[in-house]
Amino acid sequence: MLYNPTPDALFAPVAAVDPLGFGKVAIVTGCASGIGLAVTQQLLAHQFSVCGLDITSFNYDLVRVTDHGRFHFHKGDLAAAGGCEEGVRICVATFGSRIDVLVNVAGLMDNFSSADGVSDDVWDKVIATNLTAPVMMMRAVLPFMKAKRDGAIINVASTAATSGAVAGVAYTSSKHGLIGATKNVAWRFRNDGIRCNAVCPGAIDSSIGKAIANGSNEPWDAEGFAEVEPFHALQAKPSASAPTITPHEVAKAIVFLVGDHARTINGISLPVDKAWGAV
């Protein structure tokens, strides 16, 4: 509360300001569902102004009414030419020329096809969405972060960023590439006050995770899936001993990396996988 609602009170109430996000601006890609939605909700709860970007429509009922004034949604394809620049332009037009945080969440699973059968379409779409778009987003926000010598970027990778046994060749390559981009940005801009880290979620209880756990109706590559299924069976299916991880649990790890507690953490890939990646 920033004003005194009772003018005859002796003292103004203590200002309930959250130093993590008050007065700061965050961009979240893939904000309409799953991990991106959870990140959006948690950053808003920490008083960030959030510009959410997604290719699908946003259900405003999922944002608390009291947060609506600090939330702006833009619908657009980040994999299309100029899509990332447009999203950042809209953020600046809405919240002004400061960008404190970028969380690259938008992503697509592939169809488990291997290097002997991946189609041009699957390769191009997955690389464009999971690797090219996050790099273009970073390119678009870095001038704003460099200008104030402060910024935090979090890229959502995957267990598939370090393992070859989780997905098809396109998804695996895109997430491995995203870790490389994360490290490069972290090193290159370490003296500009900018940190860039990644999280590597395991099997998450979201639309992608549910599709894998339940068996998807998508035209999956049967041979490729058969090779990764035993690894998925170690965690992807919910059970008492290996419950799925929720989008909000991933979002909490991201909020940690955004905040001051992580101010010396730069260039890491943090597993959020309940030891799945330790296999």
Ligand X SMILES: NC(=O)c1ccc[n+]([C@@H]2O[C@H](COP(=O)([O-])OP(=O)(O)OC[C@H]3O[C@@H](n4cnc5c(N)ncnc54)[C@H](O)[C@@H]3O)[C@@H](O)[C@H]2O)c1
- Answer for the pair 254, 153: CB distance below 8 angstroms, yes or no: no
Smaller CB separation from ligand X, 21 or 209: 209
Catalytic residue among 60, 171, 183, 252: 171
Site map for ligand X, 10-29, x if CB under 6 A? --------------------
For the question of residue 171 being annotated catalytic, the response is yes
Q: Which is nearer to ligand X, 20 or 78 (CB)?
A: 78
According to the binding rule CB under 6 A, does residue 54 interact with ligand X?
yes
Four-CA torsion 275, 250, 216, 59, nearest 10 degrees: 170
Q: Does 77 bind ligand X (CB under 6 A)?
A: yes
Q: Contacting ligand X (CB under 6 A), which of 44, 122, 204, 254?
A: 204
Half-sphere exposure for 65 (CA within 13 Å, toward CB):
0
Active site residue 3: no
In this structure, are strands 71-75 and 151-156 parallel, antiparallel, or unpaired? unpaired
Residues 103-122 that bind ligand X (CB under 6 A): 105-108
Answer for which of 42, 129, 235, 269 binds ligand X (CB under 6 A) is 129
C-alpha 197/C-alpha 278 separation (Å) is: 20
How many CB atoms are located within 10 Å of the residue 88 CB?
22
* Cβ(90)–Cβ(72) below 8 Å: yes
Query: Which of these is catalytic: 24, 125, 175, 237?
Result: 175
- 34 sits near ligand X (criterion: CB under 6 A): yes
Q: Report which residue type is found at 52.
A: G
Q: Does 167 bind ligand X (CB under 6 A)?
A: no
Residue 186 is classified by DSSP as H
**Between 1 and 81, CB nearer to ligand X:** 81
> Helix (H, G, I), strand (E, B), or coil: what is residue 65?
helix
As annotated, the active-site residues are 171, 175
